[in-house]
Structure 1
Amino acid sequence: MQKRPDFVLFMTDQHRADFLGCSGHPVLKTPNIDAIATSGTIWDRFYVASPVCMPNRASFMTCRMPSSHGVRANGIPLDKRNVTFVELLRDAGYKTVLIGKSHLQTFSGKPPMLDALQTRSGFHRATGALSQALRHDLETYLAEDPGRTSYGTPLPFYGFDHVELVTRHGDDCGGNYRDWLLKRDPNADRLLGAANQLPHDYVCPQAIRTALPEEFYSTSYIAERASAWLSENKDDDQPFFLMVSFPDPHHPFNPPGRYWDMYDPADMQLPAVFETNDWDPPAHVASVLEDREAGRANPGSYAVLGVYAQEVREARALTCGMISMIDDAIGKVRAQSKAKDAVTVFTTDHGDHLGDHRMLFKGPAAYEELTRVPFIWSDPEAGGPNRTGDIGQTHDIGVTILERAGIEPAVGMQGRSLLTGGRQAAFIQYDHQKTNRGLGRRPRIHTLRTPDWRLSILDGIAWGELYHLREDPGELYNLWDSPAHAKQRAELVEMLARQEIAHVDEVPLPIAQA
């Protein structure tokens, strides 16, 4: 049998597709990520399965949609009854390694944001195991709980034999990284967080000039530990899959040291929406903007936020700083001899508004800046540079890796190998815990994205969204009620219905004839 390839997969967190040098960003420099693209293929139409962290990371691991693996929204841990593509690699003889962020479980320690259940007068409501329609114990590893490290976590961890975790975001991260940091500086806590930050004049929400030195920041830890593993295993012939996963450039915006002022906010382009006077935002977006104007928003939370022009420029500049630090870290990892001949993949879990539609962070919509993400596939046997306009999605990545390794996917995996081409359309699911004021309910949005169109349907809402992306790439003018586009809308609704059917679970398989 031909030797199976090694794999190194780099993943960032909350990283837009257009924030890379090789994707045409006018200011940001990413030479090491660009080098992956130079010897590989950039997918210009690559989409998430869900535009939030835990659901899309679970889709990456299981090669299935959120409605199938069960992590429909943030706050639902990935039940380990799900089979991951990493487990299949391990079963076929691969070493499987995770350095950095996993986020397949909750790590905030905060209670859910669900509205309290209402019990009608005179009615009985069951509690405990009978309170939900599915009995479950959400069997997970509990390795990412606040204050814990991965020490003592049963291995393999979702299929990974070697795990060194980083949990949370910003400069105050946990997991194995926390132990590493305190060994280097037992008093590091005096440097962490907004209370200990260095002086600055930025006004952007969650712009924090961390006092933590570059060499102690989580990105440096991940580069060091991934490089060390590659060096320690350089003479081993056993094939490996190494996932190198960074918590940045997710907010807070706190690039350390020289990366803080590497980019000038004045050089950052403002989105076209700031020059538009005729945009009528849909209700679930309008409520976000109204809450910021009325002072009802919490700029310090993870929730989507209305944003102003100067804040956008600053957020973009600081994001570029965090990405540049990641790019330098990737260069260090790729300098290891063991990484040079590996199939190399670069992607992220979802995007960030970063000012588009006058919002910051993520949610509550399915705009391109959230759903379209970077994906680069570099195979030494295929060469490059290449670009493709084919459509791919996050849950295709694992199946593509399995295909390249000569391993059959598990029955019921819904991804497809991108080695044989892309998809007709992207199918995207979004669900959220918290009620959106503009909708009057929790947003549950299913989206179809074709090369020319984006259609979204909202659960329990009479209207939807329809955008002609060639004529309106900013998704500002909703054509849902346009009589001239009624035929196109009907065709896309039918396509979406077919996607819904195609992604209904096929497992468990029948065990006998009835």
Structure 2
Amino acid sequence: MTKPNILVLMVDQLNGTFFPDGPADWLHVSNLAALAARSVRFRNAYTGSPLCAPGRAAFMSGALPSRTGVYDNAAEFGSDLPTYAHFLRRAGYQTCLSGKMHFVGPDQLHGFEERLTTDIYPADFGWTPDYRKPGERIDWWYHNLGSVTGAGVAEITNQMEYDDEVAHHAVAKIYDLSRGHDPRPWALTVSFTHPHDPYVARRRFWDLYADCDHLLPEVPAIPYSDQDAHSRRLFDANDWTRFDIGDDEIRRARRGYFANLSYIDEKIGEILATLKATRQEAIVVFLSDHGDMLGERGLWFKMSFREGSARVPLMIAAPGLTPMRIDAPVSTIDVTPTLCDLAGVSMMDVEPWIDGRSLVPTAEGQARGAPVAMEYAAEGSEAPMVALRQGRWKYTRCALDPEQLFDLDADPHEMTNLAADPDHAETLARFRGMADDRWDLDRFDADVRRSQARRLVVYEGLRKGGYYPWDFQPLRKASERYMRNHMDLNVLEESQRFPRGE
């Protein structure tokens, strides 16, 4: 049986509330809209952890941070943790990554046979938080609100340069795959850094949103004193008192964000058009690592279990899966077992260890009753936080904070915490029991603190004397490209052409 090719399209920091059933109709994203029309669309998909590195490690491994040890943006992704790239490669796939995956540590492949670009963020331990110093800001790597006040137009930025390169190499790789030199099925992951801040966009995309009706959040800023405990920590982590954020700044930041989503849509269109032009077929998965609050409640970026930060788009177009919308809550940690299921690849050796479960039965109509779990133990927190989403309910817990319980059907903006409401005591008790069964928060906290302390020592030691970075260095075998004198020109020209003989 021929195994299907797989194309994973990942973006960074895309708020899932803008994808209620595919992209909202006011977004200028025609390619994503076309993909949605042929996909299973998961309306209520959540990240495993609302931050880049822990969210991506959870997505690739199918396991949450308390299992992977990838707690924050400077925690090592252990080379002994199987990913979908390992499973597929083991089953005979050629696996390739173009773009970001925010791997930290000396293993910069994690099952990918080939990597076409370097990463956009550092691979070392330099961004390690320290729970021993609550409230400490590290300005050179913590987010601040300069991304909001600095929103606007530019023709090139650090992020655009990166995503231009990611798309270029992905298109070239798809062309190369069409030549058929390698008979194996392929799994290509293309991972962009947009629409992640800074909210700076090219003029032609910026102009698309001149008359947009969605440039202000539905829930305006809530006073600092009225925010929940974790949201206050995020305000402080973002150094909010040094910035004056008014409606004009909010409009420009959101406009830049939407513009960059249109920019990424164009890149995705180029990739899908190349796939079609080369007559190749593939399962296509589209998702984000986490969301962006975009000024809702006065919050920006991620690091929160609130819907804008934790909810992400997830769409899967695959033979045998009828395009439809699914409302049951699911998680990005379900993607790895789903890909293996669709490819006929066994995960039996590690299945008891992972947290995710295949979405294929859900897409085929089976009920999904298990709660979706999330964890967060990174910057802006001072102790691990956990959450459960099941049915209409979302529950959050942290040893430092009051519990939260929200009815998302009645209260989609999470304005009313029902944890202290006697009418919901039974629901609260049920979620408490599920959380007790799943987590030992004292142990979780001790594990995070031990990891942080070790990494801080190692980082300081490795930055003394000679410096040997772990950042991925893409190799280009120039003597094996185009025409060289160890090649037969006639054979070369024929073998490098697709289609042949037309």
Tell me, yes or no, whether TM beats 0.5: yes
Deviation at 1:203, TM superposition (A): 9.5
* Post-superposition CA distance 1:138-160 (Å, at most 9, x none): x623x5xxxxxxxxxxxxx1111
Alignment of 1:108-257 (within 5 A): 140-141=106-107, 157-168=109-120, 204-212=148-156, 217-236=161-180, 237-257=183-203
Aligned to 1:134: none
Aligned partner (choices 375, 379, 384) of residue 444 of structure 1: 384
- The alignment partner of 2:425 has SS state of helix
Do residues 424 (structure 1) and 370 (structure 2) align? yes
Do residues 378 (structure 1) and 317 (structure 2) align? yes
Aligned partner (choices 268, 275, 289) of residue 330 of structure 1: 268
Aligned to 1:117: none
Distance 1:358 1:322 in 2: 21
Contact 2:148–2:198 (CA<8 Å) still a contact in 1? Answer: no
Contact 1:98–1:164 (CA<8 Å) still a contact in 2? Answer: yes
Aligned to 1:274: 220
Aligned to 2:405: 466
Contact 2:3–2:185 (CA<8 Å) still a contact in 1? Answer: yes
Contact 2:159–2:194 (CA<8 Å) still a contact in 1? Answer: no
Do residues 486 (structure 1) and 432 (structure 2) align? no
Distance 1:380 1:459 in 2: 45
- The alignment partner of 1:360 has SS state of coil
Aligned to 1:349: 289
Aligned to 1:369: 308
Read off the aligned partner of 1:324 and give its amino acid letter: S
Aligned to 2:44: 45
Pick closer, same or farther for the CA change 1:256–1:77 going to 2, 3 Å.
farther
Pick closer, same or farther for the CA change 1:483–1:165 going to 2, 3 Å.
same
Distance 1:203 1:87 in 2: 36
Distance 2:316 2:335 in 1: 9
Long gaps (5+) in structure 1: 106-138, 144-156, 175-201, 300-305, 437-441, 506-514
Read off the aligned partner of 2:218 and give its amino acid letter: A
Distance 1:55 1:291 in 2: 18
Deviation at 1:211, TM superposition (A): 4.0
Deviation at 1:345, TM superposition (A): 0.3
Pick closer, same or farther for the CA change 1:203–1:251 going to 2, 3 Å.
closer
Contact 2:293–2:299 (CA<8 Å) still a contact in 1? Answer: yes
Contact 2:389–2:395 (CA<8 Å) still a contact in 1? Answer: yes
* Post-superposition CA distance 1:166-209 (Å, at most 9, x none): 4337xxx99xxxxxxxxxxxxxxxxxxxxxxxxxxx99323153
Distance 1:216 1:277 in 2: 34
Deviation at 1:433, TM superposition (A): 3.9
Distance 2:391 2:159 in 1: 43
Aligned to 2:477: none
Read off the aligned partner of 1:457 and give its amino acid letter: R
Aligned partner (choices 299, 303, 326) of residue 388 of structure 1: 326
Read off the aligned partner of 2:204 and give its amino acid letter: R
Read off the aligned partner of 2:115 and give its amino acid letter: V
Deviation at 1:382, TM superposition (A): 2.7
Pick closer, same or farther for the CA change 1:352–1:215 going to 2, 3 Å.
closer
Aligned to 2:65: 66
Read off the aligned partner of 1:355 and give its amino acid letter: G
Aligned to 1:103: 102
Give the RMSD, CA atoms, in angstroms: 3.0
- The alignment partner of 2:74 has SS state of coil
Distance 1:468 1:215 in 2: 37
Distance 2:283 2:289 in 1: 20
Do residues 261 (structure 1) and 187 (structure 2) align? no
Contact 2:40–2:321 (CA<8 Å) still a contact in 1? Answer: no
Deviation at 1:271, TM superposition (A): 2.7
- The alignment partner of 1:165 has SS state of coil
Contact 1:214–1:220 (CA<8 Å) still a contact in 2? Answer: no
TM-score by length of 1: 0.73
Deviation at 1:63, TM superposition (A): 1.2
Deviation at 1:84, TM superposition (A): 1.5
TM-score by length of 2: 0.74
Distance 1:328 1:43 in 2: 22
Contact 1:49–1:65 (CA<8 Å) still a contact in 2? Answer: yes
Distance 1:399 1:500 in 2: 22
Read off the aligned partner of 2:424 and give its amino acid letter: H
Long gaps (5+) in structure 2: 124-145, 363-367, 445-502
The runs of at least 4 aligned residues of structure 1 exceeding 4 Å deviation read: 213-216, 275-279, 287-292, 295-299
Distance 1:215 1:282 in 2: 32
